[in-house]
Amino acid sequence: MPTSTGYSYSAHVLGQWAILWDQYQRQRLPYFYCCFAIDPATAELVPDRNWANSTGYLRAMMTGFVERLYPYTGDPRTLVFLQDLVDYELANGTTPADYAWARVPYPSADPGSARYTGWSAHGTDFIEPHVVGGDGYAYLRLYEMTGKAVYLGAAIDCADALARNYKPGTARVSPWPGRAYARDGAARGNPRMFAYSANVVDPIMLFDELIRLHRGNTRRYRAVRHGAWDWLMRYPMKNARWSGYFEDVPGSMDNLNQVIPLEFARYVLLHPELDRDWRRHARDLIGWVKTTPKWPKYRVLGAIVTTEQGDGKTFCCNAPNQCCDSHSARLAAAEALYYARTGDAAYREDAYRTYNWVSYWQGLPGAAHAPFADQWWFTDEFADGPRRLMDAFWAVPEWAPDDETHLVGASSVVTGIAYGAGWVRYATFDARSDDVLRVDFTVQSVTVDGRPLRRVASRTRIASLACAQGYAFDEKTRVLRIRHALGRDVEVRGIGGARTPDYVTFDTPHRPAGSVLRPNDAGAGISWPPATWKIGAPIGKFGTFNLMLDTAGAQNAALSFSTPTVFVGIDAYNGADHDATVTVTAPGLPAQSFILGPKALRRLRTGWRTPGRHIEFRFRQAEGLRFDNLAYLRGQGQVPGCKRSSCGRE
């Protein structure tokens, strides 16, 4: 939707989540397969049974996605999904307790395997230490989200294994190998094992967080962390040997990638206190990714589309609109965060253009593509890419929807959240946190543990407020920044604003494309008249299953709610080459009429506040119309107070 950056970015992220939740309830593809194709006749997801499952990467990336998605939506299903995904790995994909690399996650699995022991094309029974660091950090963040000690224990196991197997590195041998046998830690006897990985950032992040929380053997962690950092500064930061990341390629000093340098840039931008040269490091790393000839970059309408890896002769993956959404989003995230930290507007503009490309091309319609044009990867498209697109909201909250309320970023994990008309209540894991929201109301007060915060001068960037505690609210953009240091339970109240509606997405419960809806088929207490509506396959600007008229060109349709309900509206896409008109009516309420231009996507909003039961639609030239995200409000919407012990916590 060109006129609404917030809608476009948010719809992209929420569409990816809708597909994940559908798969969780049905095929559970993320457990056993790296990726899938789409049946062109049915639009159903078909698992790729020939490629390695990237189990370790997926869990770490998915944790990063849900860590942002849960506070953004307040949807507890995101935590249900994530915990089940991680619990499965802990039960089916960790090394034995008597190994040199004990009780750590395997990085991959054979296609379709229910047990994770590494991809047999590389060998058997091997680990990748940087994945141990990434998964360990993810376990630790999940512990902070849920309070469950099992995830803290898993994180400490990963840190202990990394500390136990650390060795000082050289220019060609990193502190931990890129790939090694789990039993003894050897990287020998098989050319697929490899002694080098520049990715020491993930282990460093794990050590940093455990040290901050005073958990595990922090004295040992500090020493190992110092050694890994020193090696990073001495070698990769000087010779740019950014190799040793991907789980499905042989190790090579010549095959470089952009993931490691950009993730390190992101790390120092979020934690400048840990790197006195953070500005130079971040700028140099972003610049290297954008200029190195090791892989192609494309300029597409101002966007920089970057592929993921290469040696200057061969590269992955393909051309623009085929690759690579997650990697381009990662570049945009680093640029957006650099702008947020420094105020350099050139980085904001580059990030904006690239994020636009990501949200425009990626999805499930036939005109969109993923790597190799017929593979959608759970790592890239459904975990890594969305988490880095959500960095956009944190860095530039003006890019979040302007007619909704969302917590878009926080330096601490958010443990619970609830939204209402003119208020937000949430809790953070840490008493000290810098939080960013975009709200649809005028803020009047912010309290932390019941104590009011002082309002200070408005800020325009993510840079910390110049006070120990306080909040800044921009009346024009409705961006709210909060710094609190003496409490965890935050409440924001104001004037105006709308209740957050519930949605029917037509993906859950799943029904095949072409299925004619019957009463209550889409849940939410909605009755669908016979032979009127049916499920449509992804098409045009709708990347997920949607709603369409059973009879093309019908002039009337209806739906009914089982109890009095406010019909907030619905999203509509006109795939035809001419205008279409939609008029919505309900007894006793003013009719609302909308015109959709050719190929236009529009969010239709009734503005009604009075509940009703029967909704009528009148159409003109409706043959190209599709609908999705039916929004409604039921009852008074009273949500109990959000306390750390009861809001989103078990």
Write the pLDDT tens digit of every residue in 258-292.
999 999 999 999 999 999 999 999 999 999 999 99
The pLDDT value given to residue 318: 65
Other Cβ atoms closer than 10 A to 454: 9
The pLDDT value given to residue 645: 31
| 468: phi then psi, degrees, rounded to nearest 5 | -70, -40
CA dist list (Å): 231 to 165, 168, 226, 320: 15, 8, 9, 35
- The partner residues of 631 in beta bridges, in order of sequence, read 503, 569
User: Any idea which of 306-320, 606-620, 623-637 has the lowest mean pLDDT?
Assistant: 306-320
Q: What is the largest CA-CA distance in the chain?
A: 79
* Sign, Cα dihedral of 438, 442, 447, 451: positive
Q: Residue 618: which of 585, 589, 572 has the closest Cα?
A: 585
Q: Is the pLDDT score of 232 beyond 70?
A: yes
- The partner residues of 303 in beta bridges, in order of sequence, read 300
Rounded to whole angstroms, the Cα distance separating 196 from 231 reads 12
CB neighbour list of residue 367: distance below 8 Å, 6 or more residues apart: none
Q: Residue 65: which of 387, 534, 538 has the closest Cα?
A: 387
Q: Is the pLDDT score of 461 beyond 70?
A: no
Residue found under tokens 């989003």: 329
Are 224 and 238 in contact by the 8 Å Cβ rule? The answer is: no
The pLDDT value given to residue 468: 82
CA dist list (Å): 445 to 326, 490, 492, 522: 38, 11, 6, 39
* Sign, Cα dihedral of 262, 175, 271, 151: positive
The pLDDT value given to residue 160: 98
Element (H, E) at 31: helix 29-32
The pLDDT value given to residue 314: 84
Write the pLDDT tens digit of every residue in 68-87.
999 999 999 999 999 999 99
Q: What percent of the chain has pLDDT over 90?
A: 79
CA dist list (Å): 378 to 75, 214, 216, 350: 20, 34, 32, 26
The pLDDT value given to residue 650: 26
More confidently predicted of 16 and 188: 16
Helix axes 55-73, 77-92, angle to 10 degrees: 160
The pLDDT value given to residue 528: 94
Q: Is the pLDDT score of 322 beyond 80?
A: no
Rounded to whole angstroms, the Cα distance separating 436 from 457 reads 15
Residue found under tokens 């690239």: 354
Identify the band that residue 372 occupies on the pLDDT scale cut at 50, 70 and 90. Answer: very low
The pLDDT value given to residue 643: 34
More confidently predicted of 9 and 188: 9
| 597: phi then psi, degrees, rounded to nearest 5 | -70, 175
* Sign, Cα dihedral of 203, 204, 207, 208: negative
CA angle 310, 311, 313 (to 5 degrees): 95
Q: Residue 243: which of 307, 305, 200 has the closest Cα?
A: 200
Q: Is the pLDDT score of 313 beyond 60?
A: yes
Q: How far is CA 226 from the centre of its chain?
A: 30
Identify the band that residue 521 occupies on the pLDDT scale cut at 50, 70 and 90. Answer: confident
Rounded to whole angstroms, the Cα distance separating 37 from 30 reads 13
Are 619 and 625 in contact by the 8 Å Cβ rule? The answer is: yes
* Burial group, residue 474, by CB count within 10 angstroms (0-12, 13-18, 19+): middle
The pLDDT value given to residue 205: 98
The three-state secondary structure class of 380 is helix
Q: Which residues of 581-620 are buried (b: 16+ CB within 10 A; e: fewer)?
A: ebebbbeebeebebebeeebbbbbbbebeebbbebebbbe
CB neighbour list of residue 447: distance below 8 Å, 6 or more residues apart: 453, 490, 491
The pLDDT value given to residue 363: 53
Are 174 and 182 in contact by the 8 Å Cβ rule? The answer is: no
The pLDDT value given to residue 268: 98
Q: Is the pLDDT score of 572 beyond 70?
A: yes
* Sign, Cα dihedral of 278, 283, 284, 289: positive
- The partner residues of 243 in beta bridges, in order of sequence, read 256
Residue found under tokens 């590195």: 169
User: Any idea which of 33-37, 102-106, 240-244 has the lowest mean pLDDT?
Assistant: 33-37
Identify the band that residue 459 occupies on the pLDDT scale cut at 50, 70 and 90. Answer: low
The pLDDT value given to residue 498: 92
How many H-runs (helices) and E-runs (strands) does the chain carry? 14, 29
More confidently predicted of 385 and 465: 385
Give the CA-trace dihedral at 431, 436, 440, 443, to 10 degrees.
Answer: 60
Other Cβ atoms closer than 10 A to 532: 17
Rounded to whole angstroms, the Cα distance separating 365 from 626 reads 13
Q: Which one-letter DSSP state was computed for residue 273?
A: G
Write the pLDDT tens digit of every residue in 612-629.
999 999 999 999 999 999
Q: What is the mean pLDDT of residues 3-30?
A: 93
Q: Residue 418: which of 641, 650, 146, 645 has the closest Cα?
A: 641
How many CA atoms within 13 Å lie on the side-chain side of 12?
Answer: 32
Are 473 and 455 in contact by the 8 Å Cβ rule? The answer is: yes
Mean pLDDT, all residues of the chain:
91
Q: pTM (2 decimals)?
A: 0.94
* Sign, Cα dihedral of 603, 608, 611, 612: negative
